């Protein structure tokens, strides 16, 4: 079993801890909790870079090793960084839908690290 964790924070007061667990070659289970989110729709994505030197802006694009388009968790053709647009409600009609999911700005971020 592989376990990882990301401790999230931001200048906007959003905090949280996200846990990632994978058994063998099975799917990764993502659990956790967040505090300080403003009411409304929010997305959840893994980004390509473990770099927070410029806050959430330096984490790069969504993790996408196969160059797939953005999609919902249930979509077969989606990139690996699409862990869920939690009630984002993007209908695919926006010019950013296929690259970012039109999820808006980043309100918190952290670096995923392996747990012992």
Ordered by where they begin, the domains of the chain are 2-115 (2.60.40.200)
How many angstroms separate the CA atoms of 57 and 114, rounded?
23
Task: For residue 57, give the 3-state DSSP assignment.
Answer: helix
Task: For residue 105, give the 3-state DSSP assignment.
Answer: coil
60-113 pLDDT, tens digit each: 877 777 777 766 666 676 655 555 444 344 445 545 455 555 555 678 899 999
Question: What pLDDT, on the 0 to 100 scale, is given for residue 81?
Answer: 56
Looking at the chain, the number of H-run helices and the number of E-run strands are 0, 7
Contacting residues for 7 by C-beta, under 8 A, at least 6 apart = 16, 17, 110
Mean of the per-residue pLDDT values for the chain? 77
Question: What pLDDT, on the 0 to 100 scale, is given for residue 14?
Answer: 92
Which range, 1-5, 8-12, 24-28, has the best average confidence (pLDDT)? 1-5
Percent of the chain with pLDDT over 90: 29
Question: What pLDDT, on the 0 to 100 scale, is given for residue 88?
Answer: 42
Decide: 73 and 29 in contact? Cβ < 8 Å: no
pTM across the whole model: 0.71
DSSP letter for 16, please: E
Question: What pLDDT, on the 0 to 100 scale, is given for residue 7?
Answer: 95
């Amino acid at each position: 079993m592989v376990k990882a964790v990301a401790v999230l924070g931001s200048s906007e007061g959003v905090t949280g801890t996200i846990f990632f667990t994978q058994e063998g070659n099975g799917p990764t289970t993502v659990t956790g909790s967040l505090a300080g989110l403003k009411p409304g729709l929010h997305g959840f994505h893994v980004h390509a870079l473990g770099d927070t030197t410029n806050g959430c802006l330096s984490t790069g694009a969504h993790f996408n090793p196969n160059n797939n388009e953005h999609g919902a968790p249930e979509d077969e053709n989606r990139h690996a960084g699409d862990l869920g647009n939690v009630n984002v409600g993007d209908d695919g009609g926006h010019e950013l839908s296929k690259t970012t999911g039109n999820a808006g700005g980043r309100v918190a971020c952290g670096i995923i690290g392996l747990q012992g």
